[in-house]
A and B are shown apart, each in its own frame.
Chain A
Amino acid sequence: MKDLASSALNTATQLGATYADVRVVDERSRALSTKNGKIGTASDARSQGFNVRVLVDGAWGFAASANPERKSVESTTARAVEIARASAKVKQSEVSLVPEKPVTAEWSTPHRIDPFTISIEQNLALLQKVDAELRSVKGVTLAETNLNFRREEQWFFSSEGADIHQAKVTTGAGYVAYAFAGSEIQKRSYPSSFGGQWQNKGYELIDELKLVENARRIGEEAVALHSADQCPEGVFDIILESSQLGLQIHESVGHPIELDRVLGMEANFAGTSFLTLDKLRTLKYGSELVNVVADARQEHGPGLGTFGFDDEGVPAQCTPIISNGLFTGYLSSRETAALIGLQRSGGTLRAENWNRLPIIRMTNISILPGEKPLSLEQLIASTDHGILFNTNRSWSIDDKRYNFQFGTELGWEIKNGKLARMLKNPSYSGITTEFWNSMDAICSRDEWTLWGTPNCGKGQPQQVMGTGHGASPARFRKVKVGSAYKGN
């Protein structure tokens, strides 16, 4: 790897680059799934390649190739330089980077069991067992299960002298039961929707998830939704269970704090952000109880945003994003930090793979649990009349991240501190800052889970990235409920 990198960095420097970095990636993944008892997916994939990122004439160029032969490395590097010179034809100022001390380092995901050592037979047997449990419930018309494993090894070298080797392991699993009857399709997912739970962890995650133990309940809930009442329309106090709160954080905190969005760099696709620079340390983002961090360090937990170093060699950090309700920080890179006068990058530049340019991505954007002991049961008990929202079904937010609407798979009406009746098709909507300022209770550490969102899309060409979101259930006062079905 070092030879490849030296060749690329030397070529880049000779051709006029003032900065260059090289990432070499070897990624292996396995996807297994079943659908109604049959194999849905059984696939392995391996992708290997490298890229060269250069600064020439104050502008960026990037080229990637799967071919690591010397000639290819040189021509790919020359291509990156040619591209950078073209970039320099349309610029308003020169790119500058905040300093970062180059390091030589090794980092790997702590894990007990390498998921690739578990036999395919054992994995398929587990999925078939879950599938059988789901379909043992009368009324379940479709059952889908999935297991996903990924191992990514990356070498990063820069012209400043960085030499970093990282190895990440990711495990994910989940399932869905669908029930079609009359004119309705209802579904329930476990542990969360859209792929289940994912963490940077080994196969030990699968045992922790208790997949088989929960399958029958999930199937029964999917069927029971057909007999449930439609979620009412109006203004209610609401409680979000932790996976839904995780997605709420992702959409209405995680994206708007991306500094590239704030600075207009994503305007054509992902959009911009209402969090203009004047709002830093002045905006009351949420109530006093709202404390959010962007934490990529291992001590935060095995989130999909946990790593040793980002993809430009900056060490993992914890950045306070919202502190007792006050907006206090952005997600930044070496370039964007320089643009707003920060002394150092927050270390959030990541790429999907070897063939993609690293861009600002969420790390683990988590709301901290309440300090006073509070269980979900106690939170429900302290709510006179409200609605509990469980497991995301739909999500949408405008391109500045103000107006959002979420639907969940299941709702419960709360009356006099008790779950009174199941509700189908629940949805709620609002304006980001009004919503976070209405939070008046959050459960404590025992109810806190670090959820993984494996499918966050951003960038052009689009890149899919995993992000982490720690959350415990929380209550929000006077929220608009039921708009999704209004007029339909």
Chain B
Amino acid sequence: MLTRDQAAGIFSRIRKYATADEVECLFYGGQSALTRFANNTIHQNVAEENYGVSVRTAFGGRTARATTNKFDDESLRDVVSSSESLSKVQEPDPELLPLPDAGEGARATQANGAVLSRHFEQTAKLTPAQRADAVGKIVGIAQKQKLTAAGIFASSDTVEGIFNSRGLSAWHTQTSAEISITMLAADSSGWQKANSPDVAKLNAEALARIAADKAVKSASPREIPPGKHTVILEPAAVLDTVGFAFFDFGGLAILDQRSFLSNRIGIKLFGENISIADDVYHPLQSGSPFDGEGVPRQRVQLVENGVVKRLVYARATADRMKKSGYAGKVGPIAATGHGFPVPNEMGEAPMNIVFESPREPKTVAQMISGTERGILVTRLWYIREVDPYEKILTGMTRDGTFLIENGRVVCGLRNFRFNQSLIEMLSKVEEMSTPVRTSGEESFDMVVPAMKVRDFNFTEVTKF
């Protein structure tokens, strides 16, 4: 693994080669492996090791970056030269800020214990044989029920670091383990997915049993007409829809007038029961405690009781916002440690979303038992934005869609297409579970609850 000391040494060499006024280096990479199975067979099984450095140079209001995954002298000279060539020829931007200094920079690293360790030796040392053994057990559960299993078991051990010429430095190491399982029957399927920095927290067999149960119970699916239905969205279905909201919670999205929050900050947009924070320090979260410029991430209360209270800011966005007509209208304005590496087009985004637990959490089973007629959704798929301001999303249900009648699951259903405003959806949440760490396919991992939502808008039914 690339160590902090090795990275510091590479940064020193890069500084020696650079002629720019300021230099910043982002380091990334690690070891990763993924065992993939389908048709009850491991059919793809991969591993890689790779590290890179992205060099940002700045000459008085002009900046650019270049990246390499080679650390020999010639490659480092080349990457500095590329970065400087891209910087030098630009028109100066008077709004470009100097790099943050050490005081402004990453104090909240692992060294001071601000973030719980997200590096677990057991995850880092996971072997192909151990992953294959777990897959063998998953396949065994499938075969017992005459099902076909497909999925992955992945693990990684990664580093992320930043050094700049104003003395800022920060370093983060993390492990990750992930299991995703689809169980297939003749005309139905079931799915489960989980991840954690600590592989010991994943239970492959338990996930396999739930996925298998869903496949069995959704066999011979019935077709019912689309329309507005009460739905119970399991956490993965919630994650993959709400994920489309959060890139609009950056200050630059407001300045660019591309956010659905334009003219909506400070008003009640969602239901009273919706409160959302961005909190990298939450025990169920993962990721590094500093942003793309090395600024420490702060906990930010984005939504409180349905009202959008605050946005997140990169340093430059905060600077621009304070000078704009939005000052005083968009809540507190300050760099929050959510910026992407500079230069970039997107500015910033909250990537460590945590939904607040409801006052009276309900389990999915309790939600089902209190539902006269509704639809239980395991997972949503191929979600895309239809309307950027009303936040209408379209997509499909997948891998376990069930009809609920008189408080119990009665049968599987053919999958639906939905066209649903996210704003409306979060205004019609009747019940929620305790939020859990959740992983889907359309969005980044979050801590989200299951939700019971009324009037969810299904517009079509597909053929299976």
Answer whether A and B are interacting partners. yes
Per-position 1/0 for B210-251, Cβ under 8 A of A = 000000000000000000100000000000000000000000
CB distance from A229 to the nearest CB of B (A): 16
Cβ A264 vs Cβ B150 within 8 A: yes
A438 interface residue (CB < 8 Å to B): no
Cβ A91 vs Cβ B41 within 8 A: yes
Chain A residues with Cβ below 8 Å from B132 are 86-87, 89-90
Cβ B78 vs Cβ A461 within 8 A: no
B39 interface residue (CB < 8 Å to A): yes
B146 interface residue (CB < 8 Å to A): no
Cβ B386 vs Cβ A484 within 8 A: yes
Contact status of A84 and B45, CB under 8 A, knowing A142-B256, A269-B441, A399-B382: yes
CB distance from A338 to the nearest CB of B (A): 13
How many residues on B have C-beta within 8 angstroms of the other chain's C-beta atoms?
Answer: 98
B384 interface residue (CB < 8 Å to A): yes
B396 interface residue (CB < 8 Å to A): yes
Give Cα A460–Cα B182 distance, bound, in whole angstroms.
13
Residue of A nearest to B388 (CB): A185
Tell me which of B105-113, B268-276, B358-366, B417-425 binds A. Answer: B417-425
Chain B residues with Cβ below 8 Å from A483 are 417, 419, 459-460
Cβ A49 vs Cβ B50 within 8 A: yes
B262 interface residue (CB < 8 Å to A): yes
B298 interface residue (CB < 8 Å to A): no
Cβ A488 vs Cβ B46 within 8 A: no
Cβ B65 vs Cβ A42 within 8 A: yes
Give Cα A144–Cα B460 distance, bound, in whole angstroms.
35
Chain A residues with Cβ below 8 Å from B154 are 460-461
Tell me which of B9-17, B28-36, B117-125, B198-206 binds A. Answer: B28-36
Cβ B131 vs Cβ A86 within 8 A: yes
Cβ B86 vs Cβ A44 within 8 A: yes
Cβ B459 vs Cβ A398 within 8 A: no
CB distance from B347 to the nearest CB of A (A): 10
Chain B residues with Cβ below 8 Å from A79 are 47
Q: Which of B37, B69, B385 contacts A90 (CB 8 A)?
A: B37
Cβ A41 vs Cβ B381 within 8 A: no
Chain B residues with Cβ below 8 Å from A43 are 64-67, 86, 343
Cβ A49 vs Cβ B131 within 8 A: no
Tell me which of B133-141, B289-297, B300-308 binds A. Answer: B133-141
Chain A residues with Cβ below 8 Å from B180 are 268-269, 460
A405 interface residue (CB < 8 Å to B): yes
B5 interface residue (CB < 8 Å to A): no
Cβ A488 vs Cβ B345 within 8 A: no
Tell me which of B87-95, B322-330, B429-437, B444-452 binds A. Answer: B87-95
A263 interface residue (CB < 8 Å to B): yes
Cβ A460 vs Cβ B34 within 8 A: yes
Residue of B nearest to A397 (CB): B382
- Looking at A40, A403, A487, the one whose CB has the most chain B CB atoms below 10 A away is A487
A64 interface residue (CB < 8 Å to B): yes
Chain B residues with Cβ below 8 Å from A484 are 386-387, 392, 394, 419, 459
Tell me which of A8-16, A423-431, A464-472 binds B. Answer: A423-431
A305 interface residue (CB < 8 Å to B): no
Taking CB atoms and an 8 Å cut-off, the chain A residues in 167-192 that contact chain B are 178, 180, 183-185
A118 interface residue (CB < 8 Å to B): no
Cβ B398 vs Cβ A398 within 8 A: yes
Cβ A42 vs Cβ B87 within 8 A: yes
CB distance from A173 to the nearest CB of B (A): 16
Give Cα A93–Cα B43 distance, bound, in whole angstroms.
10
Cβ B382 vs Cβ A83 within 8 A: no
Q: Which of B50, B128, B152, B191 contacts A64 (CB 8 A)?
A: B50
Give Cα A486–Cα B50 distance, bound, in whole angstroms.
48
Cβ B42 vs Cβ A91 within 8 A: yes
Cβ B421 vs Cβ A488 within 8 A: yes
> What are the nearest 7 A-B pairs in CB distance?
A86-B128, A42-B64, A403-B462, A40-B345, A267-B150, A180-B257, A86-B132
User: 7 extra interchain contacts, Cβ-Cβ under 8 A, other than A44-B86, A46-B79?
Assistant: A33-B345, A36-B256, A39-B64, A79-B47, A87-B42, A397-B396, A488-B457
29 contacts between A and B (CB under 8 A): A38-B95, A40-B344, A41-B345, A42-B65, A44-B83, A45-B66, A45-B68, A51-B48, A65-B50, A76-B49, A86-B42, A87-B42, A89-B42, A90-B40, A90-B139, A91-B41, A144-B345, A178-B256, A183-B389, A267-B150, A268-B182, A355-B48, A355-B50, A396-B383, A402-B464, A429-B417, A460-B44, A485-B386, A488-B421
